[in-house]
């Protein structure tokens, strides 16, 4: 019996950043110099691979409990759903995050920003969506930090997300931002997404239902893999 597979719909123009965004200077050094060649999807791209999740630990989703003490900063909950292009939940898919600490510094040797390192915060977490495509992280709100893109440049507070989806065509790396951040209009990375409506899909929203009384504010961030309502790529 022949198997007919539905190829994912490509998002419309403007959802994802162009490969070369002059205001985002490092894209000049890493984008392809030749026109891309569109290759039709085959069975392997549409059905696999299947990633194993055996190494996920009991506190991998809680970045505030991965060390002997609690990290400094404003504790927050980030939760949402992972959906496909038709709005259906994507269950049992790997979601990974990484971020700065509350002072705006990554736990990485190449980060030379003169902000303190928090010994109780590594800044990385992972989880797997449930049957309804839901995920949940507990962390601290990341700080803004300077970078060398242009004079007096600062990145707004953000959390990096990596999702594998269910196959190669739904691989996504993006960034989540916080509502009302005054640095957003000035940020070349956020504004590299041409479509203003698509940029709004990079913003989390404050959610009182996710907020835990006396403990942590909640932010909702739903992620759509491909399609007209796709969450934009951000690297």
Q: Exactly one of 24, 135, 145, 219 is catalytic; which is it?
A: 145
- Helix residue ranges per DSSP H, 4-151: 27-30, 43-47
The catalytically annotated residue of 16, 158, 199, 226 is: 158
Exactly one of 24, 106, 177, 219 is catalytic; name it: 106
Could you tell me if 80 and 134 are in contact, meaning their C-beta atoms sit under 8 angstroms apart?
Answer: yes
CA 58 – CA 11 distance, rounded (Å): 36
Instruction: Verify whether residue 31 is a known catalytic residue.
Output: no
The Cα 85–Cα 88 span in angstroms is 7
Which residue is catalytic, options 105, 155, 199, 201? 155
**Could you confirm whether 158 is annotated as catalytic?**
yes
135 pairs with which residues across the strands?
80
Torsion, Cα 128 130 134 138, to 10 degrees, reads -50
108 is catalytic: no
Phi and psi at residue 99, to the nearest 5°: -165, 170
Q: Which run of H or E residues covers position 199?
A: helix 196-200
Of the candidates 61, 105, 126, 160, the residue annotated as catalytic is 160
Catalytic-residue membership of 106:
yes
Which stretches of the chain are assigned E, i.e. beta strand? Answer: 75-83, 94-98, 124-128, 134-140, 145-147, 153-155, 158-163, 172-177, 205-206, 217-220, 223-224
Task: Tell me which residues are annotated as active site.
Answer: 106, 145, 155, 158, 160
């Amino acid at each position: 019996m022949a198997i007919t597979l539905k190829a994912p719909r490509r998002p419309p123009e403007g959802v994802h950043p162009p490969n070369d965004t002059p205001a985002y200077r490092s894209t000049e050094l890493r984008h392809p110099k030749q026109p891309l060649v569109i290759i039709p999807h085959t069975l392997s791209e549409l059905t696999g691979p299947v990633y194993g999740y055996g190494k996920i630990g009991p506190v991998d989703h809680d970045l505030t409990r991965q060390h002997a003490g609690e990290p400094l900063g404003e504790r927050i909950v980030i939760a949402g759903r992972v959906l496909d292009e038709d709005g259906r939940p994507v269950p049992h898919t790997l979601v990974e995050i990484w971020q700065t600490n509350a002072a705006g510094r990554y736990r990485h040797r190449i980060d030379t920003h003169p902000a303190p390192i928090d010994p109780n915060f590594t800044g990385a977490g992972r989880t797997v969506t449930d049957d309804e495509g839901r995920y949940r992280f507990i962390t601290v709100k990341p700080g803004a930090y300077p970078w060398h893109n242009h004079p007096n440049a600062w990145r707004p507070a953000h959390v990096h997300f990596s999702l594998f989806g269910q196959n190669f065509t739904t691989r996504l790396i993006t960034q989540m931002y916080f509502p009302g951040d005054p640095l957003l209009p000035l940020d070349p990375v956020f504004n590299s997404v041409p479509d203003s409506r698509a940029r709004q899909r990079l913003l989390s929203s404050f959610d009182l239902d996710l907020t835990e009384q006396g403990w942590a504010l909640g932010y909702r961030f739903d992620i759509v893999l491909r399609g007209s309502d796709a969450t934009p790529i951000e690297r």
